[in-house]
Amino acid sequence: MTKRLCQLDVHRINFGFFVRPAEETLTHVPNVEPVYAYLVTHPEVTLLFDTGIGAVDPETEAHYQPRRIDLSSALAQVRAQPAMVDLIANSHLHFDHCGHNADFCDRTILVQESELRIARGPNYTMSELVDFPTAHYELIDGITSIAPGLTLVPTPGHSPGHQSLVVECTDGTLIVAGQATDTATEFGRQHLARTVKDLEGRQLAPSADWLDLLNGFDPRRIVFAHDEAIWEPGS
């Protein structure tokens, strides 16, 4: 059973998981992390935000031990098929977020210009997942409206060109944050840090610059690529 995330049709899609090794975690023990994408059915466009875990070289395979759900099976979770998708947007171009882009060979892929530029450089991701023969990118720079109520917003940090998706629903705004933060808890901590200041009005702990931008959309809930939890104001 999938959960409808707001009154506009926004569905979380499970593409499997990977194991983040101990040297990459704050707790210094391995984490098993889910990989989620989000399908948005809007009156003007059906958008898939991120496309799951791509094929990797043996070294990366051994390092992250990914377990994949294939594209058709993943979309079937929400009674969808690849042919129903009109448009792709990637939060960023790491292998666990753009893995099935090439399976949408006739679809436009929306990415921030800064993200594609660094993805084409060395030591960023699997180049074959980025520059496959039928890749059709539409490069954007900054806040970009896709359709009424659908807006891509730059949220750099995890990667220089990371972006999130704002979905304005009749029951409140949903933000698909991708990997802007790894978890809802981390997002909540940064959100709190943004509001806590000393007597001279200085912020006591750092927070991402884009938090003010996202909060300007008055989000009711925020969802993530590697965490099933949903962040809600005051929760």
What domains appear along the chain, each with residue ranges and CATH number? Answer: 9-223 (3.60.15.10)
Residues 6+ apart with CB under 8 A from 212: 194
The helix (run of H) or strand (run of E) holding residue 11 is strand 9-20
Rounded to two decimals, the pTM is: 0.93
For each of the chain's 235 residues, which pLDDT tens digit applies?
355 666 578 999 999 999 999 998 888 999 999 999 999 999 999 999 999 999 999 999 999 999 999 999 999 999 999 999 999 999 999 999 999 999 998 899 999 999 999 999 988 888 999 999 999 999 999 999 999 999 999 999 999 999 999 999 988 999 999 999 999 999 999 988 888 877 777 777 778 999 999 999 999 999 999 999 999 987 6
**Contact present, 149 and 42 (Cβ < 8 Å):** yes
- Is residue 120 classed as helix, strand or coil in its secondary structure? coil
Q: How high is the pLDDT of residue 3?
A: 56
Using alpha carbons, list the distances in angstroms from residue 175 to 22, 62, 155, 199, 211. 29, 33, 11, 32, 12
- At residue 1, the pLDDT reads 36
Give me the long-range contacts of 82-85 (CB less than 8 A, separation at least 24): 84/46, 85/39, 85/46, 85/47, 85/48
